Amino acid sequence: VQVVESGGGRAQPGRSLRLSCRVSGFVFGDYALTWVRQAPGKGLEWVGFVRSKSFHATTEYAASVKGRFSISRDDSQSIAFLQMNNLRGDDTGVYYCARLSHDYGGAYFDYWGQGTPVTVSP
Amino acid sequence: YVLTQPPSVSVAPGQSARLPCGGVNIEKNKRVHWYQQRPGQAPVVVVDYDNDRPSGIPERFSGSKSGNTATLTISRVEAGDEADYFCQVWDASTNHWVFGGGTKLTVL
């Protein structure tokens, strides 16, 4: 199983970035995927997740990003996206994509990518 | 739902390290997962569903719960266990995952 994030970089406050999460080694469409971020020197913060097609690819988001971030998936290409709009300074950090062990609440995150860094500054 | 972890724990090599994770009624109402994060690396799950070990995780890692505290115990601590450890639960009332603030384990 491989999980690879990309798309990170520097953005000004108020601008947008789109992160990608490419996966291989399992049937992508059968699993939910989640995004977790880590501000410099801080702990892990759950961002949101997208369920599998079996659960209509519905999404949930942390309060800190709801209304600004959105997660989507393209099962035909085994890729998930994190669209980040109206970026703020406290969105700075490393963003990880991870697979959920199963597609319902209470799952753990069994495979993680190495993360992609995002810096929001003027 | 809030999970509380001490910022740091220190232990000598060969001893046991006990890393607590506090949460209201955690024993009765939550299933707890634990992650290890070495410097510069992505997190890795070391205990899932309170006390299950994923494939490849040494038996030295175990989890338990009592009352308002879950505990990750690392027996016979080695230098390579030095890392940050995070507990995690699912909050069904909000459909959100919650992480504790993390504990830095230092091997003396």
Residue range B80-104, pLDDT digits in tens: 999 999 999 999 999 999 999 999 9
Enter the DSSP assignment of B7: S
Q: Do B37 and A60 touch (CB under 8 A)?
A: no
Among A108, A111, A112, which would you mutate to test the B interface (most chain B Cβ atoms within 10 Å of its Cβ)?
A108
**Alpha carbons B18 and B10: distance in angstroms, whole number:** 10
**Alpha carbons B55 and B49: distance in angstroms, whole number:** 14
A12-59: pLDDT as tens digits: 999 999 999 999 999 999 999 999 999 999 999 999 999 999 999 999
CA distance B88 to chain A (A): 8
Which residues lie closer than 8 Å to A88 by C-beta, 6 or more apart? A13, A120
Contacts of B33 in chain A (CB under 8 A): 108-109
Contacts of A107 in chain B (CB under 8 A): 90
**Alpha carbons B45 and B29: distance in angstroms, whole number:** 21
Q: Please report the pLDDT score of residue A104 as a whole number.
A: 74
Residue B27, classed as helix, strand or coil, is helix
B11-66: pLDDT as tens digits: 999 999 999 999 999 999 999 999 999 999 999 999 999 999 999 999 999 999 99
The angle formed by the CA atoms of residues B83, B84 and B87, to the nearest 5 degrees, is: 135
